[in-house]
Amino acid sequence: MPTDNIQLIRLVTGEEIVGDVSKLPKDVYSEDGKYALIVKKPILLVCPAPGQIAFAPWMGYADHEEAGIKIKEDSIMFVLKLKPKIIEEYKKIWSKLALPDSNKEILIPPAGLKLK
C-alpha cells in the first residue's frame, strides 16, 4: 500500500479520520459540485486517555473500504500528512500479514539450525 495518500482528515464534527485520500475529478462531483475527497479504508483516530491514541472502525457497519467514501468539502476542516509511525500502524490494520516493527531487527536462523 503506497503511503503518499495516507492522510488525516479533520471533519467539522471533530472526527479525525485516517485513510487513503484522493481528490475526485470534477466530472465525478455531485450536482452541486461539493464532493472534494474520496477516502478509502478509513479508520477513526481516537484518544482513549490523555497522551494516548487508538484506531477504531469508522462506519464499520457499511461496506466502504475499497470503494471509499465521498466527503463534501464543507465537511472538512483540514487535511494533514501523518507521522511515519502512525502510517505504519495504519498499514498493519489493513495488512493480511503480521508485520514486524520497522525499527526492530529480524533474526532468521541459518538453514538446519534448530532453536529450542
User: From CA 59, how far away is CA 71, in angstroms rounded?
Assistant: 13
Q: Considering the domain boundaries, does residue 62 fall inside one?
A: yes
> What's the whole-number mean pLDDT along residues 9-13?
96
Cut 0.75: pTM above it? no
Give tens-digit pLDDT for 28-71: 666 666 778 899 999 999 988 888 889 998 888 888 777 888 88
Q: Considering the domain boundaries, does residue 114 fall inside one?
A: no
Look at the chain and report how many structural domains it folds into: 1
Q: Considering the domain boundaries, does residue 1 fall inside one?
A: no
Q: 94 and 88 in contact (C-beta within 8 Å)?
A: no
Q: 9 and 21 in contact (C-beta within 8 Å)?
A: yes
Q: Considering the domain boundaries, does residue 11 fall inside one?
A: yes
By the 10 Å C-beta count (0-12 exposed, 13-18 middle, 19+ buried), 52 is classed as: exposed
Q: Torsion-angle region of residue 68: left (phi > 0), alpha (psi -120 to 50) or beta? A: left
Q: Where are the beta strands (DSSP E) in the chain?
A: 6-11, 16-23, 35-46, 54-57, 69-72, 76-81
> What pLDDT was estimated at residue 7?
95
Q: Considering the domain boundaries, does residue 85 fall inside one?
A: yes
Q: Considering the domain boundaries, does residue 104 fall inside one?
A: no
> What pLDDT was estimated at residue 67?
82
> What pLDDT was estimated at residue 114?
63
Q: Considering the domain boundaries, does residue 102 fall inside one?
A: no
Instruction: Report the CATH number that the domain containing residue 29 is assigned in CATH.
Output: 2.30.30.100
> What pLDDT was estimated at residue 9?
95
Q: Considering the domain boundaries, does residue 100 fall inside one?
A: no
Query: Does the pLDDT of residue 110 top 80, yes or no?
Result: no
Residue-averaged pLDDT of the chain: 81
Q: 24 lies in which domain range?
A: 6-94
